[in-house]
Structure 1
């Protein structure tokens, strides 16, 4: 069969452009969101101002509200809006800690996985091709115990959520491992913040009456942070023991 001489061959540059397309879409969506001012709605102060309206809407459209909340959460995570904690508190306030925790765990995992796949398609081979032997050895260690490392990173509130979503794309982490570690690792924090949201009503009322701004840091106690760090330490023990045996 003869080939059409007019057909343009697919070049290596074209393939590289396609690899970066998903990541470009995410960055464009993030820029549009900030330009439109949508991040202004992802504040506890907005929840305080709109609590009655939101509660009435959820009461009249419970299933639609739950599905819409999960979709919004997944999109916020996929586009790297720094609002995971606030949205989880929103969910706990609107749906109760149990339902909100389940919705957030599924939606956050879906959004994080979308971002991971987009980043991996763009920079997945970067580490192996461009960095030195020492960093490649570090990558080998991370990949060998990817589940344990990811679980610790998810449990410990040290790095921003979107950083942990993207960083494993630099390593050869299997998708199944990423999804499992993400889902299990975010469960404690998810239900803790959802529980905070369930009991935040009195704080919202007081803040609205006083006209003061509230933030997540006003709700999170040192005990909760210590509990997260303790969970991360426990999760790191098996990997540490394995390294010491070697």
Structure 2
């Protein structure tokens, strides 16, 4: 067996975790969308609350584990999972469990992409002239600020925010820290909505899933985005002035 054949097989094996994530994401979008829904939560909220009251620790472990699977395999229902965390555990520690599950799942995607795509493909993406290259330049100039920004902006898809840092050489510890802290604002909004679901269920109402785009919620998040961009702007000004 030649060295090139060995390298090719090793490359295929490294790509299996990322391929599994992509396949699960596609299958989940097709088969699980109707199950990981608000209606499912509405129909089962009494049973979930009863199970939580009788098995508190097991409920926490099971909930975080399910959230890791949803985030790690990019399954539909992340928003519903966050609402469920608020419903079961309140704003706190519900937001902690939500952020923990999302961060672990996101880290799984990050590691699978970094391990599976390999240094050669990542180098090609980093060395190209497209959007990934421009994002890499921005991240390299100020990694902390740019990583916080892609987490804070609601319009950036979660999978994309997990994938791009793995392609541009972001250190694992920096990725984990910015992911955990950067998703807190959005998670806090939906966790607080979930904490009030008991009253909504009694009135047979549905929460406003677009609440994060309302101005009284969006403006503070945009303010955090501006703070994240401030070091980048200051660095650009200093560069222009030759400082």
1:158 partner SS: coil
Tell me the CA shift for residue 162 of structure 1.
1.7
CA distance in 1, matches of 2:103, 2:222: 21
Partner of 1:238: 231
Tell me the CA shift for residue 53 of structure 1.
1.2
Gaps of 5+ in 1: 1-6
Alignment RMSD, CA only? Answer: 2.4
Provide TM-score, normalisation by structure 2: 0.86
Select the residue among 111, 117, 122 that pairs with 2:116. Answer: 122
Partner of 2:18: 23
Tell me the CA shift for residue 32 of structure 1.
4.1
Partner of 1:108: 102
Deviations 1:197-238 (A, max 9, x none): 111222233336xxxx66622686432122222211222112
CA distance in 1, matches of 2:32, 2:207: 18
Partner of 2:85: 91
Matched, 1:206 2:200: no
Alpha-carbon contact 2:94-2:191 (below 8 Å) kept: yes
Deviations 1:165-188 (A, max 9, x none): 112122111111101110111112
Partner of 1:229: 222
Alpha-carbon contact 1:48-1:205 (below 8 Å) kept: no
Structure 2 matches for 1:146-225, cutoff 5 A? 146-207=143-204, 216-217=209-210, 221-225=214-218
Partner of 1:3: none
Tell me the CA shift for residue 70 of structure 1.
0.3
**Aligned pair in 2 of structure 1 residues 82, 166: CA closer, same or farther (>3 Å)?**
farther
Matched, 1:63 2:57: yes
CA distance in 2, matches of 1:46, 1:137: 42
CA distance in 2, matches of 1:167, 1:138: 8
Q: Which has the higher contact order (CA 8 A, sep 6+)?
A: 1
Segment of structure 1 superposing worse, 138-147 or 76-85:
138-147
Gaps of 5+ in 2: none
Tell me the CA shift for residue 192 of structure 1.
2.0
Select the residue among 33, 42, 46 that pairs with 1:48. Answer: 42
Partner of 1:76: 70
Q: Which has the larger radius of gyration?
A: 1
CA distance in 2, matches of 1:219, 1:45: 20
**Aligned pair in 2 of structure 1 residues 189, 12: CA closer, same or farther (>3 Å)?**
same
Aligned residues: 235
